[in-house]
Every structure is written in structure tokens, then in C-alpha cells.
Amino acid sequence: MMKKLLFFLGIAGSVWACTTLNAEDSKAEGEQLYRTYCVACHGAKGNMGGSGAFDLTVSPLTLDQRIEVITNGRNAMASFKTMIPPSKIRAVAEYTMQLKPSMK
């Protein structure tokens, strides 16, 4: 009986560890991609405004709208769909959601 319980806790523990790790991975990945592709115009804090780039710290866009802009581009903003796969575009869009003016 005790053995079974421990076994169950073991499984639950590893599932928990995996999901937490994945969330961390995708966050780190988003940041990594941001540094690679976006900093040149948006700056490390999102507010640089190079080449007329919008200030991401005050952007009212939702996650889905950001994914759309990053995927297909808009005016001077390039399309990234040939450079970043969709799941990773989501990760980088999520990263931009947490850029806030307080980080300036």
C-alpha cells in the first residue's frame, strides 16, 4: 500500500517537474529569439523604437495580434514566418507581453 502511494507520488512529481520545465524552456526560448531577431529595432527593453519600431512596453496588442504582426509583418516590420516556426513565434510574442514600462 505504502509502496503504491510512493510510486504515485513519484509519477505526479515528475509530471509536475516536466510541465514546469517546459514553461521555463519556452520562456527562455522566447527571450533568446527576441534577443536574436528583435533587439535591433525594438531594443533589449522593447522601447528603443529603431527604424520606427513601435514601443512594445506600451503596445495595446493582444497575444494573438502580436503573433499576427510577427508572423506576417506590418509596414516596416518584417515578416518572420520564414525565419521562426509558429510555436516559437508564440514564445517570442509571449515574451513581448511581459515587457513593461516599469522595466525601463
Candidates 12, 28, 40, 44: give the one binding ligand HEC (CB under 6 A). Answer: 40
Selected range binding ligand HEC among 3-11, 12-20, 21-29, 40-48, rule: CB under 6 A = 40-48
**Binds ligand HEC by CB under 6 A, chosen from 61, 88, 94, 97:** 61
C-beta pairs of 58-62 under 8 Å, 24+ apart in sequence: 58/101, 59/96
The Cα 41–Cα 79 span in angstroms is 14
**Is the CB of 47 or the CB of 70 nearer to ligand HEC?**
70
The separation between the first and the last C-alpha atoms of the chain, rounded to the nearest angstrom, is 56
Is 90 near ligand HEC (CB under 6 A)? no
Count of residues interacting with ligand HEC (CB under 6 A): 23
DSSP string, 29-93: HHHHHHHHHTHHHH-TTS---GGG---TTS----HHHHHHHHHH-BTTBPP-TTTS-HHHHHHHH
C-beta closer to ligand HEC: residue 45 or 53? 53
Residues forming the site for ligand HEC (CB under 6 A): 37-38, 40-42, 51-54, 56, 59, 61, 66, 69-70, 74-78, 80, 92, 96
